[in-house]
Amino acid sequence: MSSGTTIGASAPVRPGRLGDPTSSLGTDPRADPRMMAVLSPLGLGELAPAGAPGPDTSLEDLRAFVAEVEVGFEGLFTVLAEGAPRPDDVTSEERTIEGPDGNAITLYIVRPSVVDGPLPCLLQVHGGGMVMLSAAGPLYRNWREELASAGAVVVGVEYRNAGGVLGSHPYPAGLDDCTTALHWVDDHREELGVTGIVVTGDSGGANLSLALAIRAKREGWLGAISGVSAQSPYIVGDWPSAHGELASPTENDRYWLNRELFPALSAVYDPGAAHRDEATCWPYRATDADLAGLPPHVVVVNECDPLRDEGLAYHRRLLANGVPSVGKVNLGLCHVGELLFRAAMPDVYLDAVRSVVGFARSLPAGGA
């Protein structure tokens, strides 16, 4: 008998909630046990609560909802960052530059204390679905310090969110601020002591990082960007239109993140879905012409994340259009899990640090 499917063998079990609708992070055998040792005592091994504002919710109420969600996320991130070791071989400073609308943009600049020659620069864009969180938070402060300790100059951008405590500034305000920050870094390479500039971000920050490259190509300043490193990108926005294309929103739904949250976030970022087909708002909508000729990318997604498949799809689109792109799946991790568990999973965290910095160090100074 030839090797192959055994007659009478049972069909493979589908992963996550595709195979078992009652599955949660706490019961899914794929979930990393070190991660669950942290999340379970916080009640995050159970399915995330169902329910989120519906499509008829007013923009004012959506913004109020985002403000409540932000408090929870900032609290969780602060708890996760507490007690994590911090490098003692970096120095930090803050600069304030003028934004495109006369607004102030704070830049958090971190570098190794001892520098031997120019270093690559990482323009670090924080997550939060483009509508919440802050670059000043302890989770992102620690992340910048670790990246700098590994051999890069890191510039974190406090861009305008579309909601939350920093105010309501829908698309394209955040992208405009990141564009201004990138131009400032490009103009100050000699002062900063940097060579190439890699734009990097997680979740909503990954959206903005990918969008920056698309905007740079369209506007003719792609030479400012050497590469893009995106972790767990949130790039679809209008989930119903892509729901049939992607498995992970169902497979990993309510694994810490409830997929019903994302239409609410997208409505705050892009009120009335006025830019639903604009690639610099939702990079998942990028055309082949938008992608061809972009600089090298790294796209990292996590196995137990409802956002996983949109990142994988984007990576494959990059490859199909001739863009050098490395795709990576972190097994057993939740959304942006590689950034969350520095104390409990130092090997995973430091591997993520080495990946971002190593990618930046491998690239020439200019863009494509």
Q: What is the pLDDT of residues 52-67, one digit of tens each?
A: 888 889 999 999 999 9
Average pLDDT, the chain: 94
pLDDT-derived band at 284, boundaries 50, 70, 90: very high
How many angstroms from the chain centroid is the CA of residue 47? 22
* pLDDT at res. 368: 42
Q: In what order do the strands lie in the sheet with 119-125?
A: 90-98, 104-112, 153-158, 119-125, 194-202, 227-231, 297-302, 325-330
Q: Above 60 in pLDDT, residue 344?
A: yes
* pLDDT at res. 10: 63
Q: What is the pLDDT of residues 202-227, one digit of tens each?
A: 999 999 999 999 999 999 999 999 99
Q: What is the pLDDT of residues 105-118, one digit of tens each?
A: 999 999 999 988 89
Q: What is the pLDDT of residues 290-317, one digit of tens each?
A: 999 999 999 999 999 999 999 999 999 9
* pLDDT at res. 135: 98
Backbone angles phi, psi at 110, to 5 degrees: -125, 135
User: Of all helices (H) and strands (E), which one includes residue 303?
Assistant: none
Q: What is the mean pLDDT of residues 20-35?
A: 98
* pLDDT at res. 116: 81
Contact 311, 300 (CB under 8 A): yes
Q: What is the pLDDT of residues 145-154, one digit of tens each?
A: 999 999 999 9
* pLDDT at res. 11: 63
**Burial of 83 from C-beta contacts in 10 A (0-12 / 13-18 / 19+):** exposed
Asked if the bond preceding 172 is cis, omega within 30° of 0, the reply is: yes
Contact 52, 263 (CB under 8 A): yes
Q: Above 60 in pLDDT, residue 9?
A: no
At the top level of CATH, the class of 72-361 is: alpha beta
Q: Above 50 in pLDDT, residue 3?
A: no
**Burial of 299 from C-beta contacts in 10 A (0-12 / 13-18 / 19+):** buried
Q: What is the pLDDT of residues 78-107, one digit of tens each?
A: 999 988 999 999 999 999 999 999 999 999
- How many angstroms separate the CA atoms of 142 and 305, rounded? 23
Q: Which residues fall within 8 angstroms of residue 359, CB to CB, at 6 or more apart?
A: 198, 227, 229, 296, 298, 326
pLDDT-derived band at 239, boundaries 50, 70, 90: low
Contact 231, 336 (CB under 8 A): yes
Which of 343, 330, 350 lies closest to 80, judged by CA? 343
Contact 140, 78 (CB under 8 A): no
Q: What is the pLDDT of residues 154-212, one digit of tens each?
A: 999 999 999 999 899 999 999 999 999 999 999 999 999 999 999 999 999 999 999 99
Query: What count of other Cβ atoms lies within 10 Å of the Cβ of residue 238?
Result: 18
Contact 177, 156 (CB under 8 A): no
DSSP letter string, 5-64: SPTTPPPPPPPHHHH-TT--TTT-TTS-HHHHHHHGGGTTTSPPPP----TT--HHHHHH
* pLDDT at res. 1: 39
* pLDDT at res. 240: 56
* pLDDT at res. 107: 98
C-alpha distances (whole Å) from 67 to each of 62, 127, 233, 259, 331 are: 9, 15, 21, 18, 31
Which of 133, 24, 135, 159 lies closest to 72, judged by CA? 133
Alpha-carbon dihedral of residues 116, 117, 118, 124, nearest 10 degrees? -10
Backbone angles phi, psi at 272, to 5 degrees: 70, 10
How many angstroms from the chain centroid is the CA of residue 121? 18
* pLDDT at res. 336: 98
**CA-only gyration radius of the chain, Å:** 20
Q: What is the mean pLDDT of residues 338-344?
A: 97
* pLDDT at res. 108: 98
For the chain, the domains span 72-361
pLDDT-derived band at 2, boundaries 50, 70, 90: very low
Which of 198, 202, 196 lies closest to 230, judged by CA? 202
Contact 288, 321 (CB under 8 A): yes
- Percentage of the chain beyond pLDDT 90 is 88
* pLDDT at res. 366: 58
Q: Above 80 in pLDDT, residue 325?
A: yes
C-alpha distances (whole Å) from 175 to each of 67, 125, 185, 279, 342 are: 20, 10, 15, 12, 29
